[in-house]
Amino acid sequence: ADSSAADNAICEYFEPKPRQEQACLIPCPQDCVVTEFTPWTTCSKTCGLGLQNRVRSIVAPPLFGGLPCPNLTEFQTCAPRACEGREMVFSLKVGGWSECKLPSLPPPPTSSAAPSRTARQARRRKGKERKGNRDPEMRELIKSKRNRNKLNRLEDELWNMEIGYQSRQVVCVHRNGSTVSLSQCPHWSLPETFQSCLMTKDCVVSEWSVWGSCSKTCSDPSVPQGTRSRSRQLIRLPTGGGSECPQLEESQACEPEGDGVPPCATYAWRTTEWNECRVDALLSQQDRRRGNQTGLCGGGVQSREVYCFQANAELLSYIYNNKDKQASKPVDVQLCKGTTLSTTQLCHIPCPVECEVSPWGAWGPCTFENCDERVVKKGVKFRRRTITNYPTGGEGNCPHLVEVIPCDDPSCFSWQLVKLEECIPEEDMDCGEGTQTPQVRCIKSEGTEVEKEMCVDEVYPSSVPCVVPCPKDCALSLWTEWSTCSQTCSSKTAEGKQMRTRAILAYNAGEGGSSCPNTSTLQEVRNCNEHPCIVYHWQTGPWGQCVEDTTTSINSSSSAEKSTCTVGVQTRKVICVKVNVGQVPPKKCPEAPRPESVRPCLLPCKRDCIVTPFSEWTECPTSCETGTNAQKNKQFRYRMIIQMSANGGQECPDVLYEEKECATPSVCPGYRWKTHKWRKCQLVPWSIRRDSKGAQENCGAGVQTRAISCRQLDGTVADVVQCLKFASSMPVMSQPCQLLCRDDCQLSNWSKFSPCTSDCVGVRTRRRALVGKSKKKDKCKNGQMFPLSETQYCPCDKYNAQPVGNWSDCILPEGRVESAVGMKVQGDVKECGQGYRYQAMVCYDQDNKLVETSRCNSHGYIEEACIVPCPSDCKLSEWSNWSRCSKSCGSGVKVRSKWLREKPYNGGRPCPKLDHLNQVYEVVPCVSDCSQYIWVAEPWSVWKVSNVDLKENCGEGVQTRRVRCMLNTVDGPTDAVEDYLCDPEEMPQGTRESRLPCPEDCVLSDWSPWTPCDLPCSGRGDRERTAFALRLPKEGEDCPVSMQTEPCLLNRNCFHYSYNITDWSTCQLSASAVCGIGLKTRMLDCVRSDGKSVDLKYCEEVSQTHFSVLCLNSSGKMWRRRTVVEASQGDGRPCPSQMEQWKPCPVRPCYRWQYGPWSECRVEEVVCGVGLRFRNLSCFVSDGSGDGKSSIAEEELCAGLEQAVDGDKNIILEETCTLPCPGDCYLMEWSDWSPCQSVCVKGQRLDFTPVQVRSRAVIAQEPENIAQCPDQEWQSWPFGECYEYQWMGSPQLIWCQRSDGINVTGGCHPVLLPGTDQSCDPPCDKPQTFCSEEGVCMCEEGYTEVLTAKGMLEQCTPIPVLEIPTAGDKKSDVKTSRAINPTLPTTVQPGRVGRTWYLQPFGPDGKLKTWVYGVAAGVFVLLVFIVSMIYLACKKPKKPQRRQNNNRLKPLTLAYDGDVDM
């Protein structure tokens, strides 16, 4: 802890000891790599002994101590022919111009000298004033001339230009490079050694001004920073190539400072209210329902508009206290950041619920309309039905629920027969005639029981006569119940009838007993429903609109403001209708069930339209902006509707968008340079050049200057800084000039070109002429030096248009766009139909140059009509009718189906899942009333006795009856239906076999129903049924047993009952809905314990229950892109797949300034020395594709571009150069930069700086001057890219090639040279291995060997990622050594640098060492011994062989001759 040294074991207890060695890699030396030699140059002399040169360049410099670069130049002598006469050995050599300097100042003038210029001007002005006063116009003219002369002189410090002179040396040199006297070069005229020049002056600027105010005037860290700027003044412009002016303005980010900085305005998104829900937007174009949208309901889409507003406008208005409260005024949408709010959402229009009513109930008894007021003696019968599904809008949309029939003898209370007591014979007799006492109760007309005192006014039912048969009498069954009435009412053609029957149970005895009646008397018929078929009911019309009722009012408040909503009334028409006749007087219908014709209603509150204030007027464009059109010269403002008016509220304004013409802007402040006259050509002072040979005092080359000024577009003088910022490049202020001497040639200016006779094929010319004495001079008549005419082809205006590129996507016409918010109007956006596709056009002139497409009378595109196919939805048939419920009792299912008519295509709405028949089904649960269908049995037939006893008429017999399945209604069974609709288990017997009682036998009635079993069914209870004696037997005999019992057994005659709930049905939509909220249903069923569905009355609750849940049922390119706002759901139509479209960009010519090639170095009138070379700045045109193809164009096409080449505004059109003298040895121009070269090992870049390199080689012209040649040069530039080198060719011709295809010298590994002995056994087939010169497999640079236990090379491992093997790793033995310094001398073999093996089987000569042979022999003997021992141990002992076996082997024995090869 105190940092003192401790034992290593202590530290190793806490953590392992850090490694002290690790593998590393020091790159091996890399030699210089050069290209191949160029071909030999021509001989440096046309006669005599000269030199030829060939050169090469460097592509990779030497690194890490590699071999230096070889000579880049090779020489060889050449002698084309012997020279005739004396060989030229002297040359006139011109040196470079010196720096520009001012001539020495003359001595100051004495008093007798000429007065100064200022004094002369003052004297001249005073003399003119003596001559008299001039008129004002003359004075103004003189004043303007003086100002113009002042501008022409520009003696201001800003334009301070001084003219100096330069000098150079002209020497005569020998071809061996030595300088000799000028007299040795007499055959050349000496060039000028002095010239005028502009003194070099740098740009001078003032100090920076203080920082201006910050453009950001509020505080909010989330708002971007503002900027502030400062400037400095221009004191002097650069002249004579002086340093350019630095930046005159600079800016920096800033935040406002101080305590009173107000907060920044914040902006947020706000929305208008949702507009009405529309279902038709979800329908396909082909859907027929789009034409009639009144009945559509269900799921739809509604939209709203989103705009940007200033969120904290109220706060800022309070702070500044000078703004109105306009928090909701829309502002530019670009001020709001973040995701915009959604503009569409799904909505739902409730589908109308249809009214459903129950079947009619039975007609009630004849009663008074009002039992409390029995004024009218006429009565009525009522029948009613109830509403089972309440409709939208209330009961008024349901049909009438009560019908009445007039009747006679009405009563409000009546006696109802419950049952008749047993027949009691008279006078205490056991048989014979008797009476049955009725058991009754008093009921109201509605059927409810009341106190018997209420029926005192009604006739009490009397006793019914009956007969108890004696033993010898005929025995008859009891009367059946009266059948249902055959008619609900009576008319002239139809009367209601009821029938009841009884049967003969036993015949009478022959003597003394009453005989059986005729068959006709076994049936009774009576009239029923004798009231006429005249049915009345009240009929209602629809409710009218809610109108204001001024008697009452209530107050309601909304979120915006309180408004008064009044209670109104609704009325409807109520009439009395006679069925099948029409409207009748109201007195025909009873007053009690008359519906109401007036009801109160709540008038909806008036809602006024709410709009935002108008936005600010958009800014008007300034005339400085280019490309302004009439549309942009208008400004507009708009406002948004936040809430639509409703219920008679204030309507929305008609004007939501206003625009007006922009005011005519003032003239934009434009600036231009104005050039003034060139001043007099200024020569080098005569005192300096008078000693020059051939110099003349008043002629020669000089420099002239001119003044320039900055003007506004209206001509007024402006600051020069404005022109430097806004005008084009500054014109030149100086140029070389020439004052002609008497011996010089003088020419007139060029004339205009002659007119063209025809375009494209004719020529035009222009001329000039010699002037004065030049006409007589021979040198001026040289047409090559002084051409007097120029000829050029006439301009050609033939243009050719050609298509280029591929066709674009098919683009549909744009929808109408609202200028206010830039959003497309709903319904105008099309996804299919006719559109256009485009192909770009290019226009070429007759020289195949690219020109503007307008010259080809084209707007840049070829248009072609195209079709975007409309999506076609899956088309299904209409729903079939619902099938009948699968069960006639309890819950079942009913099915309907659709079949496929047309499959979807082009992205239409997909089909639902179809079955193999291309059908889709819809299954819903249903329930059938178990009493809907009942078995109806007719009376038993007469007995058919099998063993007829004619005397007794009794014995075994058969009775039959007809049993039918009939539809059961409230009025009883009506129509016969198929038998399968009734429960087969409950079907009554159609035949029965029994014994017909003989006379004087006991006759029993039919068995009563079984009594119910006690629940639960435990198996211990019994049930019973009984019968009673209709005819007693004769004396001495008894009646048979009149009671039967049986045990109650589960699922045989005793059952448990439970409710069962069905599964949910599919989602059911209204027929008018496309999607949206539907209804799922499930049924409540009563199921018996044996699985049979029975009537709900058997379960504890008798009501049928419907459950419903809400469910959602959803049946060079220009690019533009869109995104999915609302993805499809369920079976909704998928979004279009095309999320982006492209259109070719119009091909416009790209103009740019580009240098031409440098001219040859020109030295005036001499052979060698320092001269000048020139290049032109030309206008080039291209198509902008980047393929490098361009051609020269007219310079006026680039007139609007800034003169800059590749962003460099410093245009250099001439530079000094050196023309070597004959015999000089000189350096060539720099070669191009080589491709970037990285330091790599087998493609793995190391962390060293990559380089580019260029070089310049030496050129020699005289063999004796080679020793005087300068050293070759090369430069490197940091950069990087990996290259590989490999040998190419055949054994006869081998070269080294770089991976980019360039043939080089150096870079390829010498060990890998083809043709070297690489016989390694086994071959080196492992990755990163090669065969060394010694025939040993080695690893390449950057890898180390991994050996097996036998010393064989197993693999090569990269050194940088080498890991020290663990002690337990027995597989391999990794041998490495530390990297050595590559700069130190070493004798290690190539390919084996810095690596040693512990066991080396090969000697220095590459042969196997002796101990290797000894080890191999020992191993072989050991293997032979082991194999022999294994063979002897496993060999079986030989069995004794019989003789015949030996005989069989004898031929083989004789054939074997003992040869070892056998």
1103 pLDDT above the threshold of 50 = no
pLDDT value of residue 1378: 27
Confidence of residue 149 (pLDDT cuts 50, 70, 90): low
φ, ψ of residue 1123 to 5 degrees: the values are: -125, 160
Mean pLDDT of 492-515: 81
Token output for 605: 């509150």
pLDDT value of residue 210: 92
pLDDT value of residue 703: 92
- Sheet of strand 963-969: strand arrangement: 933-937, 963-969, 972-976
Q: Exposed/middle/buried for 232, CB within 10 Å: 0-12, 13-18, 19+?
A: middle
902-914 residue pLDDT tens? 888 888 888 888 8
| Average pLDDT of the residues of the chain | 77
pLDDT value of residue 1398: 43
1446 pLDDT above the threshold of 50 = no
Distance CA 426, CA 275 (A): 90
Q: Lowest mean pLDDT: which of 66-75, 90-99, 467-476, 1063-1072? A: 1063-1072
Cβ atoms within 10 Å of 682's Cβ, excluding its own: 16
pLDDT value of residue 109: 52
1377 pLDDT above the threshold of 70 = no
- Scan for tokens 């007995």, then name that residue: 943
Confidence of residue 575 (pLDDT cuts 50, 70, 90): very high
pLDDT value of residue 1406: 59
Contact 409, 379 (CB under 8 A): yes
Contact 1111, 1077 (CB under 8 A): yes
- Scan for tokens 């201001």, then name that residue: 156
pLDDT value of residue 829: 54
Mean pLDDT of 1021-1025: 90
Distance CA 11, CA 1268 (A): 70
1299-1320 residue pLDDT tens? 777 777 766 766 556 655 456 7
pLDDT value of residue 562: 42
Contacts of 493 (CB under 8 A, 6+ apart): none
Confidence of residue 624 (pLDDT cuts 50, 70, 90): low
**DSSP bridge partners of 818:** none
21 pLDDT above the threshold of 70 = yes
Dihedral class, residue 176 (left if φ above 0, else alpha if ψ from -120 to 50, else beta): alpha
Among residues 879, 888, 876, 843, the alpha carbon closest in space to that of 862 is found at 843
Distance CA 22, CA 1362 (A): 8
Instruction: Tell me the C-alpha to C-alpha distance, in Å, between residue 270 and each of 289, 308, 310.
Output: 35, 6, 10
1048-1060 residue pLDDT tens? 988 888 888 888 8
Confidence of residue 1074 (pLDDT cuts 50, 70, 90): confident
Mean pLDDT of 766-777: 84
Q: Exposed/middle/buried for 698, CB within 10 Å: 0-12, 13-18, 19+?
A: exposed
Contacts of 141 (CB under 8 A, 6+ apart): none
**DSSP bridge partners of 992:** 959
Contact 1362, 1339 (CB under 8 A): no
Distance CA 873, CA 907 (A): 8
820 pLDDT above the threshold of 50 = no
555 pLDDT above the threshold of 60 = no
Distance CA 1170, CA 1164 (A): 10
823-872 residue pLDDT tens? 333 344 567 888 999 988 888 887 788 888 888 877 788 889 999 888 88
Mean pLDDT of 235-244: 86
Of 209-218, 484-493, 612-621, 1227-1236, highest mean pLDDT = 209-218
Q: Which residue has the higher pLDDT, 291 or 652?
A: 652
Q: Lowest mean pLDDT: which of 230-234, 362-366, 379-383, 1108-1112? A: 1108-1112
170 pLDDT above the threshold of 70 = yes
703-722 residue pLDDT tens? 998 888 888 888 888 888 88
DSSP 166-190: EE--EEEEETTS-EE-GGG-TTSPP
Distance CA 934, CA 888 (A): 11
pLDDT value of residue 1313: 61
Mean pLDDT of 27-32: 80
Cβ atoms within 10 Å of 204's Cβ, excluding its own: 17
Token output for 705: 């200057």
- Sheet of strand 449-450: strand arrangement: 413-420, 438-444, 449-450
Q: Which residue has the higher pLDDT, 1335 or 1446?
A: 1335
1452 pLDDT above the threshold of 50 = no
Q: Which helix (H) or strand (E) holds 127?
A: helix 117-130
Mapping DSSP onto H, E and C, the string for 493-521 reads CCCEEEEEECCEEECCCCCCCCCCCCHHH
Confidence of residue 969 (pLDDT cuts 50, 70, 90): confident
